[in-house]
Amino acid sequence: MPDPIRLDEVGTPAGLRERLFLHETLTPAFARYDREEAFHVMWFIRQVLANRVAHPRVFGIRGTVRSEADLMAIPNQFPGFETYPRLSAAEMTNVNECVRLANATGDRRQSAYRQHVQDAITVATAPAVPIQYSAPTAAAWKRAGTPSPGAKFTLYRTMQGNDYYTTPMS
């Protein structure tokens, strides 16, 4: 029996990323779930976080942003995470369910969920972004079929039902 898989503590940088990735990425329960695409999405979101911390003015963010945790408090950028590090159980339903199923020995879904949660941990804790997932100007994502973030944003790819956008960082 494999060891239980756990996310990092909610208040740590890795714990924040892991929960955000699992919150924003389709789970294996979805018909259009595709492990490789979901993995790519997580890398993209990681780069969005880094770019918003490094270039807050590009995103119209006023004030000081020292960390990814500081981004969460900005209204209407990361729905469900505004009260981070306090996260409501209702908002975290999918995240908690993913971890539960990843540890559900005997459940036919366990293997897929274990891989999904492990992917989130891998992307959150890796020292650098692999070249094949590199998107240096990663900027935003929106539900496919909804309006773009704005005129300065360029569609990068549509993956897992979301549109992913880049924007110049200067």
Could you list the residues that contact other proteins (CB under 8 A)?
23-24, 26-27, 29-32, 34, 37, 59-60, 76-80, 91, 93-94, 97, 140-150, 152-153, 158, 161-162
Q: Residue 141: phi, psi to the nearest 5?
A: -145, 150
Instruction: Confirm if 165 and 151 have CB atoms less than 8 A apart.
Output: no
Considering the complex, state which of residue 8 and residue 82 has its C-beta at the smaller distance from other proteins: 82
Task: Report, in Å, the least distance between residue 167 CB and other proteins.
Answer: 9
Task: Report, in Å, the least distance between residue 93 CB and other proteins.
Answer: 6
Task: Report, in Å, the least distance between residue 45 CB and other proteins.
Answer: 10
Q: How far apart are CA 26 and CA 64, in angstroms?
A: 32
Q: What is the DSSP string of 96-140?
A: HHHHHHHT-TT-TTHHHHHHHHHHHHHHHH-SS--GGG--TTEEE
Considering the complex, state which of residue 130 and residue 145 has its C-beta at the smaller distance from other proteins: 145
